[in-house]
Structure 1
Amino acid sequence: MNLTFSKLTLHLRSVAMLLLFAIPALTQAQDEDLLFIDNTYVDNIKTVRFHLDGVLHSYPLIELNGSGKLRLSFDDFNDEVRRYSYKFIHCDQDWQPSSLSPLEFNAGNTIGYFDDYDFSIRTLRDYIHYELVFPNRDMQISASGNYLLVVYDDEDETIPVITRRFMVQEKLAGVTGRVMRPSIVDQIHTHQEVDLTVGTKQMQVRNPLRELRATVIQNNRWDNAVTGIVPSLLQNDAVRFDYQGQVSFFGGNEYRNLDIRSVRAPRTEMVSVTNEEDGYAMMMQADRPRDNGTYLGYIDFNGDYINDRFEELTLQLTQESQSGETFDRFDYNYSGDYVRMTFVLATNTKLDRDIYLFGGFTENQLKPEYKMVWNTQISAYVGQAVLKQGFYNYHYVVEQNPPPGSTKASDRFTYDYIEGSFDETENDYLALIYWRPIGGRYDRLVGTSQMNSNVD
């Protein structure tokens, strides 16, 4: 009898182990059509914001077992409430699915649902605003590293509507970095270089050249990230990532600012402001190219945007408010209106290549809907975007053929012709240090450092 029981126990353990290692393969097969980048897949979803809870302008980075949380919010132009679900996919440092099963990195449920939503109030364009804060009691994270947050319409869980990258770190490595002028002569006036020093005293690193890697991103952009950086110098209890020209970025130019927090009196100069059935429409005063070799510094959000409104709603004691309506619904998340914004870029002559709007609101991608169109009547490029009231950053970038063998999305466009690139430009940088011990099954994120090009 004991022998039979032992055989049964062994069989059950074998089945459990088989399922444990089969889950990642099944998950990967189910998500073959996913883009492992920040992306919105459907037209009815607008204004996707993802940041630290309580810090609107921040990296989606939290500490393992820490108190920090992340907040995802978006507006849905559908008339009816949808049952949106979400899940996490654990990734390696290259943003490919890791070998961990959900049971190994998620201490809660494998699928969660959006329960926090409400309808817009007193807006020309009706929408439903959804919010999610995690980790929460249903979805908890138990391993560091890279993650992809995937949001599905519950009507069809095979089709994603939103994906967003985020990181979870365990503070084992002390990371210091500096942003400096490049050592390569051809890049001195157009680029910025990042050097890193990583303390490894709290880690048992046997082979740093094999186990440690660094990634550096600029302004929360992944399209131009420098990844897979190998230590260049080994020291006692520390390693350095110090290369000439390898960890360098185009400085770019300060982002252009668009201030439409007020629909009655926008701070950005407009040619026209009209009131339409499904929102407001604005046309800006024409922008002009800045690629003239002269840098002009001013404050921006480094490509990000923040939603806000200046106008205060006139509150009336309606039947709705008498029944217990919360005043939280009167903030900009539910009362911000939408604007069909027309951008104008006066170049006088048409270029032999395409121009795109680019920034946080385009998800730092060259998207067809943000392609500028040449207007012969005004000798300028014109483009449109549907934007919620707020303060936006944007660039005009020019499409180009990437160098042979390049896989970087940022190599598909250039700052030449319109914006220019300067070493003086103020930019944010985030360094990520990954550690996969010999025999380890996933890339642990063991240290980070946030830097600014204007701060020594």
Structure 2
Amino acid sequence: MKLNLSFFFFLFLGIFSAAAQTVENPPPNFIRTVIFTGSNEYSGVPVIKLGEPLLLTFDDLVGDEANYYYTIEHFNYDWTPSELLKNEYLEGFDNVRITNYENSFNTLQLYSHYELRIPNDNTRSLKVSGNYLIKIFNDNKELVFSRKFIVYEPLTRVQVAVRKSSEVRNIQTKHVVNFEVDSPEFIIRNPEQSTWAVILQNNNLKTAIYNIRPQYHIGTSLIYKYNDLTSFWAGNEFLSFDSKDLRAATVKIQYIDLQDLYHHYLFPDAIRAFEPYTYNPDINGKFLVRKFQALEDDIEAGYVWTHFALAAPEPFEGGEVHLYGEFNNFVLDESTKLEYNPNSGAYETARLFKQGYYDYKYVFLRKDGILDEGFISGNFVSTENDYTVLIYYLPPGGRFTRVIGMGSATSLNISN
């Protein structure tokens, strides 16, 4: 009887662990412009090499110099908590206050700007590769928000290629990512069961493809040449606006109004799904804070209400229209939802942004919860997207999954 009880206990524990995958907690409305980067200057989920630095910045619009604390947690490949103790993956300690902050200067919207750099005097380094989550708490030990990041070791060479779909019906609308993993010096044992690959499109974890096993291996190389399994809808180039000058209209900003804060009204956008593809250089959904003639963009850039309009002859049935981009970590919520205005014949909304250059697009969230990125913008194989491939490995007897390689490619170099 004891053996049976033990069996069911561990079975339950395994089922619970499999279900307990962590998710990011979005920040409240008064926390804005969360930027989490590695060596890349743009935002997005940081994918850094073991030993490289991290930078997390955010603004508190209350502006009262509140105290914030951070912790760092390590996770398995499937974002379930790993078995490692804190001192096994972290040199130094966390759960300390963020001491680097400044108040805004000469802005209509007051805010406190916070910066956290890792490594620092307290958190000296991360010891192992893998999935990580950083959590930000307030004085009451309440979770304010959290963000994921990934640390890899360059133990393998990952060669990535983007090609068109081999299916005729998808040849003009999808990108297929093929790749090879070469490890002449690092021995991968039992690769069909011990390795997993993850593919990110434009550094967005929310649309990543998981659980990709090697098709076969030749010598020291693992080969991944799937078609459907590793395919993404190509989407369309992001739209953009630039608010670096609060008082000057640009090619995208139709007119400006000053109330409690500045209001920028963008020219109405059109539905692009049924129009021919038009090349429009973008930064793949990311954003960059900047202010015209500022010495310190981080504390001198102001906040502006940006008004969006998507022209539509009638409202769409069966779902909602949302703004989409890295400006809020690709989260769809009430602040990104557009409402249809029958008087103007357009979906409309206004959202508070810090001055800068922003990419965005309109997406359709169906009632069943499925996100359709191409419903409004369309899917075109000529679209330029960035793809990142991560290779996870669980060695025999290992207690955590390592990330043993990273490779990237762009669809600008697409092949048949």
TM-score (ref. length: structure 1):
0.83
* Separation in structure 2 between the aligned mates of residue 118 and residue 34 of structure 1, nearest angstrom: 35
Residue 233 (structure 1) aligned to one of 185, 194, 216: 216
- C-alpha deviations, 1:155-214, integer Å up to 9, x for none? 222x22121111111111111110111122222111101011001222222201011110
* Separation in structure 2 between the aligned mates of residue 132 and residue 110 of structure 1, nearest angstrom: 12
Q: Which residue of 2 aligns with 1:365?
A: 331
The residue type equivalent to 1:334 in the other structure is I
Residue 73 (structure 2) aligned to one of 80, 84, 89: 89
* Separation in structure 2 between the aligned mates of residue 125 and residue 44 of structure 1, nearest angstrom: 11
Structure 2 residue 310 is matched with structure 1 residue 345: yes
Structure 2 residue 357 is matched with structure 1 residue 391: yes
Give matches, 1:355-434, under 5 Å.
355-402=321-368, 412-434=370-392
Quote how far apart the aligned CAs of 1:54 are: 6.5
Q: Which residue of 1 aligns with 2:282?
A: 300
* Separation in structure 1 between the aligned mates of residue 192 and residue 347 of structure 2, nearest angstrom: 49
* Separation in structure 2 between the aligned mates of residue 136 and residue 174 of structure 1, nearest angstrom: 30
* Separation in structure 2 between the aligned mates of residue 220 and residue 190 of structure 1, nearest angstrom: 20
Question: Are the counterparts in 2 of residues 398 and 415 from structure 1 also a CA contact under 8 Å?
Answer: yes
Structure 2 residue 200 is matched with structure 1 residue 217: yes
Q: Secondary structure at the match of 1:193?
A: strand
Residue 105 (structure 2) aligned to one of 95, 113, 121: 121
The residue type equivalent to 1:129 in the other structure is H
Residue 54 (structure 2) aligned to one of 57, 70, 75: 70
Question: Are the counterparts in 2 of residues 41 and 160 from structure 1 also a CA contact under 8 Å?
Answer: no
Say how many residue pairs are matched: 397
- C-alpha deviations, 1:31-55, integer Å up to 9, x for none? x999523x43311100001112572
The residue type equivalent to 1:285 in the other structure is F
* Separation in structure 1 between the aligned mates of residue 280 and residue 255 of structure 2, nearest angstrom: 26
Give matches, 1:89-168, under 5 Å.
89-139=73-123, 140-153=125-138, 155-157=139-141, 159-168=142-151
Q: Which moved more, 1:45-54 or 1:175-184?
A: 45-54
Q: Secondary structure at the match of 2:88?
A: helix
Structure 2 residue 396 is matched with structure 1 residue 438: yes
Q: Secondary structure at the match of 2:412?
A: coil
Quote how far apart the aligned CAs of 1:63 are: 1.8
Question: Are the counterparts in 2 of residues 144 and 445 from structure 1 also a CA contact under 8 Å?
Answer: yes
**Pair 79,142 (structure 1): closer, same or farther in 2 beyond 3 Å:** same
Question: Are the counterparts in 2 of residues 178 and 195 from structure 1 also a CA contact under 8 Å?
Answer: yes
Q: Which residue of 2 aligns with 1:22?
A: none
Quote how far apart the aligned CAs of 1:417 are: 4.0
Q: Secondary structure at the match of 1:146?
A: strand
**Pair 434,417 (structure 1): closer, same or farther in 2 beyond 3 Å:** closer
Residue 182 (structure 2) aligned to one of 179, 194, 199: 199
Identity of counterpart residues, as a percentage?
A: 30
Quote how far apart the aligned CAs of 1:59 are: 5.3
* Separation in structure 1 between the aligned mates of residue 284 and residue 40 of structure 2, nearest angstrom: 19
* Separation in structure 1 between the aligned mates of residue 187 and residue 20 of structure 2, nearest angstrom: 38
Greater percentage in strand: 2
Q: Which residue of 1 aligns with 2:268?
A: 286
The residue type equivalent to 1:415 in the other structure is E
* Separation in structure 1 between the aligned mates of residue 131 and residue 20 of structure 2, nearest angstrom: 19
The residue type equivalent to 2:306 in the other structure is M
Quote how far apart the aligned CAs of 1:241 are: 1.4
* Separation in structure 2 between the aligned mates of residue 273 and residue 59 of structure 1, nearest angstrom: 33
Q: Which moved more, 1:39-48 or 1:116-125?
A: 39-48
**Pair 416,435 (structure 1): closer, same or farther in 2 beyond 3 Å:** closer
Quote how far apart the aligned CAs of 1:415 are: 3.2
Bigger Rg over Cα: 1
Question: Are the counterparts in 2 of residues 36 and 148 from structure 1 also a CA contact under 8 Å?
Answer: no
Q: Secondary structure at the match of 2:331?
A: coil
Structure 2 residue 46 is matched with structure 1 residue 60: yes
The residue type equivalent to 1:130 in the other structure is Y
* Separation in structure 2 between the aligned mates of residue 350 and residue 61 of structure 1, nearest angstrom: 39
Q: Which residue of 2 aligns with 1:49?
A: 35
Q: Which moved more, 1:381-390 or 1:87-96?
A: 87-96
Quote how far apart the aligned CAs of 1:293 are: 4.5
**Pair 34,122 (structure 1): closer, same or farther in 2 beyond 3 Å:** farther
Q: Secondary structure at the match of 1:368?
A: coil
Structure 2 residue 298 is matched with structure 1 residue 333: yes
The residue type equivalent to 2:411 in the other structure is S
Give matches, 1:182-193, under 5 Å.
182-193=165-176
Question: Are the counterparts in 1 of residues 176 and 231 from structure 2 also a CA contact under 8 Å?
Answer: yes
Quote how far apart the aligned CAs of 1:85 are: 0.6
Quote how far apart the aligned CAs of 1:226 are: 0.6
**Pair 437,53 (structure 1): closer, same or farther in 2 beyond 3 Å:** closer
Quote how far apart the aligned CAs of 1:443 are: 0.6
Question: Are the counterparts in 1 of residues 282 and 359 from structure 2 also a CA contact under 8 Å?
Answer: yes
Question: Are the counterparts in 2 of residues 176 and 197 from structure 1 also a CA contact under 8 Å?
Answer: yes
Question: Are the counterparts in 2 of residues 53 and 133 from structure 1 also a CA contact under 8 Å?
Answer: no
Quote how far apart the aligned CAs of 1:284 are: 1.2
Q: Which moved more, 1:210-219 or 1:75-84?
A: 75-84
Structure 2 residue 229 is matched with structure 1 residue 243: no
* Separation in structure 2 between the aligned mates of residue 209 and residue 415 of structure 1, nearest angstrom: 33
Q: Secondary structure at the match of 1:156?
A: coil
The residue type equivalent to 1:446 in the other structure is I
* Separation in structure 2 between the aligned mates of residue 43 and residue 216 of structure 1, nearest angstrom: 31
Q: Secondary structure at the match of 1:107?
A: strand
Q: Secondary structure at the match of 1:210?
A: helix
* Separation in structure 2 between the aligned mates of residue 415 and residue 61 of structure 1, nearest angstrom: 24
Q: Secondary structure at the match of 1:150?
A: strand
Quote how far apart the aligned CAs of 1:389 are: 0.4
* Separation in structure 2 between the aligned mates of residue 75 and residue 303 of structure 1, nearest angstrom: 20
* Separation in structure 2 between the aligned mates of residue 135 and residue 429 of structure 1, nearest angstrom: 27
Quote how far apart the aligned CAs of 1:79 are: 3.1
Question: Are the counterparts in 1 of residues 76 and 82 from structure 2 also a CA contact under 8 Å?
Answer: yes
TM-score (ref. length: structure 2):
0.91
**Pair 33,172 (structure 1): closer, same or farther in 2 beyond 3 Å:** closer
**Pair 436,107 (structure 1): closer, same or farther in 2 beyond 3 Å:** same
